[in-house]
A and B are shown apart, each in its own frame.
Chain A
Amino acid sequence: MRHPPTTSIAGLVFRTPYWIFTGGLAVIFLFPLGWTAAASVSPHAGTNQTDGWGFGNYRTLADYQAGIWQYLVNSAFVSLTTVVLTLAISLLGGYAFARFTFPGKNVLFLTTLAILMVPYATMLIPLYVLLNQLGLQDSLLGVALVLTMFQLPFSTFMMRISFEAIPRELDEAALVDGCSSWAALWRVLLPAVKPGLITVGLFAFLTTWNDFMAPLILINDSNRFTLPLAVSNLRVQVQGVIDYGATEAGVVVLALPCIVLFLLLQRHYVRGFMSGAFKG
Chain B
Amino acid sequence: MGVSMMSGRDRRSRRRLSPPSPARRGEAVKGWLYVSPTAVFVAVLFVVPLLLVVRMSLSRWPLLTGDQGVNAPDNYTKVFNNRFFADSVVFTLKYTVLATALLIALGLGLALLVQESSRWKGLLRASFLIPSSLGLASASLLFYVLYSPFAGPAADLMEKLGWTFLGSPNAALFSTVFLIVWRFAGFYMLLMLVGLQGIPAELYEAARIDGASRWQTFRRITLPLLRPTLALTTIMCVTGSLLAFEQFYILTKGGPDNSTITVVQLIYTMAFQGQNDLGVAAALSVIALIALVVINAMQLRAFHNPDEK
**A interface residues (Cβ-Cβ under 8 A, vs B):** 22, 25-26, 28-30, 32-33, 35-36, 39, 44, 46, 88-90, 92-93, 95-97, 99-103, 105, 108, 111-112, 114-115, 117-123, 125-130, 145-146, 148-149, 152, 156, 168, 171-172, 175-176, 178-181, 206, 209-213, 216-217, 228, 231-232, 235, 242, 244-245, 247-248, 250-251, 254-255, 258-259, 261-263, 266, 269-270, 273-274, 278-279
Contact = CB atoms under 8 A, between A and B. Distances in A.
A181 B9 contact: no
Interface stretch (B82-90, B97-105, B213-221, B289-297): B289-297
Contact of A101 (B14, B46, B48): B14
Contacts of B194: 273-274
Contacts of A115: 42, 46
Given A89-B37, A117-B292, A228 B245 contact: no
B151 A126 contact: no
A88 B38 CA distance: 10
A111 B9 contact: no
A120 B45 CA distance: 12
Interface string B183-210: 0011000110010000000000000000
A212 B190 contact: no
B130 A259 contact: yes
Interface string B1-23: 10011011101001000000000
B46 A212 contact: no
A108 B38 CA distance: 9
Contact of B245 (A29, A213, A266, A279): A213
Interface of B: 1, 4-5, 7-9, 11, 14, 24, 27-35, 37-39, 41-42, 45-50, 52-53, 56, 61, 66, 110, 113, 120, 123-124, 126-138, 141-146, 148, 150-151, 153, 182, 185-186, 190-191, 194, 228, 232, 236, 242-243, 245-246, 250, 264, 267-268, 271-272, 278, 281-282, 285-286, 288-289, 292-293, 296
A65 to B, nearest CB: 17
A250 B123 CA distance: 27
